[in-house]
Amino acid sequence: MSKKTLFDKVWDAHVVSSIENGPQILYIDRHLIHEVTSPQAFNELENRGIPIFRPEQIVATADHNTPTLNQDQPIKDALSRKQLEQLSENCKKNNITLYELGHKYNGIVHVMAPELGITQPGITMVCGDSHTSTHGAFGAIAFGIGTSQVAQVFASQCLLLKKPKSLRVTVNGKLKKGVLPKDVILYIISKLGTNSGTGYFCEYAGDVVENMSMEGRMTVCNMSIEMGARGGMIAPDETTFEYIKGRKFAPQGEAFEKKVAYWKTLPSDEGAVFDKEYTFDAADIEPMVTYGTNPGMGIKITESIPVEDNASFQKSLKYMDFKAGESLIDKPINYVFIGSCTNSRIEDFRVAAEYIKGKQKADNVTAWLVPGSKQVEAQIIEEGLKAIFDEAGFELRQPGCSACLAMNDDKIPQGEYCVSTSNRNFEGRQGQGSRTILASPLVAAATAVEGKIIDITKHLN
C-alpha cells in the first residue's frame, strides 16, 4: 500500500466523488459560522428556495463585530446590531445552534469550538474565516471559505475542491527560554514568505511541535494562512486526546476509546512523500517582531530591519515610519493588544500574567487584554490572573475579535504603533492608519510594562 500523509488520510476519507479533470466533492463534517460572512449565504439559499441540508452539523457564534465592553447591554452601533440580530434570526429559523453574545460558550469561533470539543482529529471542518486553519492543530482538515462556499455547505454539506499539494515544515530541537509558539510561526513565515504555502496544506512536525501544548499548536496552525497555505495540520497524539477528553461535544466512554483508536491511525506514514519540505532548527529561533505590513516581514527582536531595494518594501516601511537597517529596540509604543484567535487562550494569559506579576504597566501605554471566549474569561478570573492584571493597570475586556480587525470600537488610532498578539499587520488592519507590530504574548506584556520594545531575551537571563 502506498504511504499516506496525515492530510491524505483525512482528505481521502471525505471524498464523495471526483469530477473527471475537475474538482472533487469533499464532505464537510463540521461547519462553523459567524455574523459577518454568513448573512449573504443565508439570503442566497432563501432566494433560491433551497433548505439547509444538515443544520445539526453547524455551530454559530458571534465574535467579529461584537463589543468587548458592556456585552449585557444593547449594541450601540446600528449596523453591528442588525448583523447580530440577523444571525440570531437565521439560526433560529434554520434550527442551528448559536452561542450568542453573552452565552457562556460564546467566543471567537476558533477558540470556542476546540474548547467545546467540537474540533476533533480526522474530521473536515470549514468556516467563512481564513483562520479556520487553527483547528488543524487537532489533526483535522480545517480551512477558511468564502461566502459562496458557505452557501454551498449550507445546501449540500459538501464543497467542490481540488486536492491541495502537501508541504511539511519540521522544527527540531529545543526552544530557548522565552521563545513561544507565536515566535516559531512568525519565524517560519519570515523565512518562507507570505505565498510559499499557496496551493498547499501544511503539516507541522518535529520535536518542537510534539512538545507543544494544544494551545501552542493552535497558535502555529492559526497562522498557516499567513504563508498562503489553505491550512495547517499536526498529527494527533496523547496531548490531543487528553485535551479533548471530557469536553462537551467530545465522544464519551467507550465511544471515545473507539475514536482514539481511529485517531491513532492518522499520523503520516513513515516515508510518506510531501511535495515540499522545510526543516528548521529550534536553536535559531528567538522572540520575533514584525516591522512591515505583511506577516512575512518579521525579524528576531535583536535584529535590525533589513535593507531591500523594492517599491513594495519601501512603501511598507514608509507606512510604518521605520527605516531600513534600524533596530526596533527602545521604540516607544502606546498600545498593546493581547487577544485574537492566535493568542487569546488561557495559556497566553498565564504567560502574560507571570511576566506582569508585581510590575506596573507604563503610563503611556493603553493595554487591552481580550480573552478568546467566555470560558477563557472565566478561567482568567478563577485562576486569579485578573487580579494581577488589574493591579498592574491592564484592562481585561470581554471576549471577541476586538482590535484584531477593529470592526467594533476597539481601534488603534491613526499613526500609533500597537504591539499585538494577533496575526495580521496589514495597513489599517487595527484601525485606519494604525501600525501593527506582531509579537508573542510575552513580548506584548513586556512592551506594556516598559512602554517600549525591549530585548526580552536579556530580561529573562
Q: Which of residues 36-75 bind ligand SF4 (CB under 6 A)?
A: 63-64
Q: How far is the CB of 161 from other proteins (least distance, A)?
A: 9
Under the criterion CB under 6 A, does residue 423 sit at the interface with ligand SF4? Answer: yes
Q: How far is the CB of 255 from ligand SF4 (least distance, A)?
A: 31
C-alpha cell at 282: 529550534
Q: Which is nearer to other proteins, 324 or 329 (CB)?
A: 324
Q: Which is nearer to ligand SF4, 35 or 450 (CB)?
A: 35
Under the criterion CB under 8 A, does residue 432 sit at the interface with other proteins? Answer: yes
Q: How far is the CB of 329 from other proteins (least distance, A)?
A: 26
**How big is the CA angle at 299 (ends 296 and 300), to the nearest 5 degrees?**
140
Under the criterion CB under 6 A, does residue 189 sit at the interface with ligand SF4? Answer: no
Burial zone of 455 (CB within 10 Å; 0-12 exposed, 13-18 middle, 19+ buried):
middle
Q: Which of residues 308-367 bind ligand SF4 (CB under 6 A)?
A: 340-341
Place of cell 477563557: 376
Place of cell 499536526: 234
Q: Which is nearer to ligand SF4, 110 or 374 (CB)?
A: 110
- Exposure class string for 367-383: b at 16+ Cβ within 10 A, else e: bbbbbbbbbbbebbeee
**Phi-psi region for residue 405, left (φ > 0), alpha (ψ -120 to 50) or beta?**
alpha
Find the DSSP H helices in 400-460. 441-450, 456-460
Contacts of 271 (CB under 8 A, 6+ apart): 3
Based on C-alpha coordinates, what's the Rg of the chain?
Answer: 21
356: partner contacted, choices other proteins, ligand SF4, none (Cβ within 5-8 A by kind): none
108: partner contacted, choices ligand SF4, other proteins, none (Cβ within 5-8 A by kind): ligand SF4
Binding characters for ligand SF4, 101-120, by CB under 6 A (x = yes): -------x-x----------
Exactly one of 7, 11, 34, 37 binds other proteins (CB under 8 A); that residue is 37
Q: How far is the CB of 424 from ligand SF4 (least distance, A)?
A: 7
Exactly one of 3, 93, 174, 315 binds other proteins (CB under 8 A); that residue is 315
Under the criterion CB under 8 A, does residue 93 sit at the interface with other proteins? Answer: no
Under the criterion CB under 6 A, does residue 131 sit at the interface with ligand SF4? Answer: yes
Burial zone of 176 (CB within 10 Å; 0-12 exposed, 13-18 middle, 19+ buried):
middle
Handedness of CA 438, 207, 346, 393 (dihedral sign): negative
Contacts of 242 (CB under 8 A, 6+ apart): none
Q: How far apart are CA 181 and CA 357, in angstroms?
A: 22
Q: Which of residues 103-162 bind other proteins (CB under 8 A)?
A: 122-123, 128-130, 132, 144-149, 151-152, 155-160, 162
Contacts of 46 (CB under 8 A, 6+ apart): none
Chain positions contacting ligand SF4, by CB under 6 A: 63-64, 108, 110, 129, 131, 340-341, 401, 404-405, 422-423
Chain positions contacting other proteins, by CB under 8 A: 13, 16-17, 19, 21-23, 25, 27, 36-37, 39-40, 43-44, 48, 50, 53, 64-65, 77, 79-80, 82-83, 86, 122-123, 128-130, 132, 144-149, 151-152, 155-160, 162, 194-195, 198-199, 228, 230, 262, 294, 311-312, 315, 405-407, 414, 424, 426-429, 432-433
